[in-house]
């Protein structure tokens, strides 16, 4: 047997990466890591509107947990990483909807509960795939199977009064002898108009009436959105003549109810609403006119049914009329804590389970978009506070 002599080759010098290649590899790693963290565990969101005040303020930056309820698998895979609907700073879509995958939810360690502050994709938005619809944040007041009702502003779930969020706001009118109150006065009570530019979501505004003597208008009081605790303090001021709650206030957007709930044939308002049963997976409902008014939109838009036609008195699927329907997934009823300044499930309906994004966990930064002065730009007292 012959032996084969092997010679160790001289070690080849390791080729050093160029600075550009090292920079590219670092950026690629960071993008991949951030994308995985954002998808699997935690995502940052900003509060743009006052619908959750005073629990959450415009300018709050939140971390939202994906693993509480379980992360959803991607539905729209052709998307620029770390974007949502548009490429940063442009109006260019950041995705292609050529491929739409079936969506599943990975196991979580919790389910959506009554009182949770939840981020979800806005259901009525039809121009985007489910996972790219605009993100909304509200408080879950009714879970699947609950019977929810609002009576004179108080929410009842299964005929029991629901806990009122400690910082929930509602509307009041204060009749005063002072007509010169301004932002400085209201800010000391944390009543601020921190709305986005162009919106009309005021948390305080003067109310004027004609003066028969001077033939002009004068301020007779102020409409406020604030907490019950704050209004109790304001009541004690000697120039406050009367405080009236906006009970049974008509819908703030009259046309909104006409698009849902059968054109509001029940005459519901923001303060007197329901009773209404939140759809639950596997539960069957008989489709009378009332059920069609409440659930017709759900059956047509969110249940993956094809060729659905809904009228006031009938529903057909695939050309066949149906007299009952069994829901394919759970739904939730969401409301803003700023009850008279929130477009929520009272206006646009239920949130399907496949639209749930995650649970709001804590505030890591809070920036006042309309501060009294530069020194108060950051709301230091809100940093790293837990969302309740």
Which pLDDT does position 50 carry in this prediction? 87
Give which of 273, 274, 263 is closest to 296, Cα–Cα. Answer: 263
Which pLDDT does position 254 carry in this prediction? 45
Which pLDDT does position 387 carry in this prediction? 95
Which pLDDT does position 91 carry in this prediction? 93
Which pLDDT does position 253 carry in this prediction? 46
Q: What is the mean pLDDT of each run of 10 residues along the chain (388 residues)?
A: 49 71 74 73 89 92 95 94 91 95 94 97 94 96 97 95 92 87 89 68 84 79 91 92 72 52 76 94 96 94 96 94 97 94 91 97 92 86 94
Which pLDDT does position 110 carry in this prediction? 94
Which pLDDT does position 374 carry in this prediction? 83
Which pLDDT does position 60 carry in this prediction? 94
Taking domain 170-245, whether its CATH number is 3.30.1490 is answered by: no
Which pLDDT does position 272 carry in this prediction? 87
Domain map (residue ranges) of the chain: 170-245
């Amino acid at each position: 047997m012959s032996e084969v002599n092997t010679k160790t080759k001289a070690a080849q010098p390791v080729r050093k990466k160029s600075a550009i290649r090292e920079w590219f590899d670092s950026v690629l790693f960071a993008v991949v890591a951030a994308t995985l963290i954002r998808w699997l565990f935690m995502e940052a969101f900003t509060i743009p509107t006052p619908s959750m005040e005073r629990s959450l303020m415009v300018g709050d930056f939140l971390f939202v947990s994906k693993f509480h309820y379980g992360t959803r698998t991607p539905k729209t895979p052709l998307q620029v990483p770390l974007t949502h609907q548009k490429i940063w700073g442009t109006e260019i879509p950041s995705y292609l909807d050529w491929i739409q995958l079936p969506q599943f939810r990975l196991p979580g360690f919790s389910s959506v509960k009554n009182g949770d502050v939840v981020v979800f994709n806005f259901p009525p938005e039809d121009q985007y795939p489910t996972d790219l619809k605009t993100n909304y944040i509200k408080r879950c007041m009714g879970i699947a199977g609950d019977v929810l009702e609002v009576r004179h502003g108080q929410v009842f779930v299964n005929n029991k009064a629901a806990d009122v969020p400690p910082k929930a706001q509602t509307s009041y009118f204060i009749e005063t002898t002072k007509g010169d109150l301004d932002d400085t006065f209201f800010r000391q009570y944390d009543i601020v108009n921190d709305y986005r530019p162009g919106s009309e979501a005021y948390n305080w505004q003067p109310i004027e009436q004609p003066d028969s003597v001077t033939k002009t208008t004068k301020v007779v009081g102020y409409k406020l959105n604030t907490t019950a605790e704050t209004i109790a303090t304001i009541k004690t001021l000697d120039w406050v003549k009367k405080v009236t709650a906006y009970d049974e206030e008509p819908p703030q957007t009259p046309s909104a109810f006409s698009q849902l709930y059968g054109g509001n044939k029940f005459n519901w308002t923001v303060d007197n609403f329901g009773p209404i049963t939140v759809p639950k997976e596997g539960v069957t409902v008989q489709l009378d006119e009332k059920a069609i008014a409440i659930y017709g939109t759900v059956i047509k838009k969110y249940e993956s049914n094809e060729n659905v036609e809904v009228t006031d008195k009938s529903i057909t699927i695939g050309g066949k009329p149906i007299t009952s329907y069994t829901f394919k997934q759970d739904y939730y009823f969401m409301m803003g804590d700023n009850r008279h300044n929130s477009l929520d499930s009272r206006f646009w309906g239920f949130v399907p389970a496949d639209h749930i994004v995650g649970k709001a966990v804590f505030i890591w930064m809070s920036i006042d978009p309309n501060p009294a002065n530069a020194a108060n730009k950051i709301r230091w007292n809100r940093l790293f506070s837990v969302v309740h």
